[in-house]
Amino acid sequence: MTFRKYLVLAGVMFCAAIGDSLLSRGMKQVGGVSLDHLPKVILAVLNPSVALGILLLLGFFASYMTALSWADLTFVLPATSLGYVVLTLIAKFYLHETVSTTRWIGILLISAGVGFVTQGPELTHHPAKHAPKEECVAVPAGEKP
């Protein structure tokens, strides 16, 4: 893998983790919203944390699409799941959420799984299903092909 591909995967990881954290922080500031009260939903988007979270999640989506353009989903998704570790650390130390021992064990299992996935190829190469067809050329009568 090239350095550029590692940067794209890091973009997926960090944009998702930071974007989700900012979105969570902003929505806790805004309070409960419902689709029944559309003006409050629109005002929620104007909260700086929510707006920045949405922008970072758009960055996540762009990075994710880029990664999927050169690698299999079964490679990209686990490789970027290290973002769960980053997200949990942000939630613990920035949002001051309580993270149970069971969650930490789950994060360790995710990290171990990522280690297994990265040992395989990033893209599956499929053999050609059909051999190329030979081109038919009309030969005038009396000439050899």
pLDDT tens profile 33-51: 888 888 888 889 999 999 9
More confident residue, 83 or 102: 102
**Cα 14 vs. chain centroid, distance in angstroms?**
10
- Is residue 143 included in any domain, yes or no? no
- Is residue 48 included in any domain, yes or no? yes
- Is residue 87 included in any domain, yes or no? yes
More confident residue, 82 or 22: 22
Choice among 41-45, 106-110, 137-141 with the minimum mean pLDDT: 137-141
- Is residue 101 included in any domain, yes or no? yes
- Is residue 97 included in any domain, yes or no? yes
pLDDT, residue 114, reads 79
**Tally of domains in the chain:** 1
- Is residue 49 included in any domain, yes or no? yes
State which H helix or E strand residue 138 sits in.
Answer: none
Residue 70 has pLDDT above 60, yes or no: yes
- Is residue 138 included in any domain, yes or no? no
Mean pLDDT taken over the chain: 85
Q: Give the domain extent around 111.
A: 3-130
pTM check: above 0.95: no
State which H helix or E strand residue 133 sits in.
Answer: none
- With beta carbons less than 8 A apart as the criterion, state whether 2 and 122 touch: no
**30: exposed, middle or buried (Cβ count in 10 Å: 0-12, 13-18, 19+):** middle
- What is the Cβ-side half-sphere exposure of residue 79, based on CA atoms within 13 angstroms? 25
Choice among 50-54, 70-74, 75-79 with the minimum mean pLDDT: 75-79
- With beta carbons less than 8 A apart as the criterion, state whether 80 and 67 touch: yes
pLDDT, residue 112, reads 85
Cα 81 to Cα 16: distance, rounded to the nearest angstrom: 10
> How crowded is residue 81: how many other Cβ atoms within 10 Å of its Cβ?
19
- Is residue 103 included in any domain, yes or no? yes
Q: Summarize the confidence of residues 61-67 as an average pLDDT.
A: 95
pLDDT, residue 139, reads 57
Residue 26 has pLDDT above 90, yes or no: yes
| Confidence label for 103 from pLDDT (cuts 50, 70 and 90) | very high
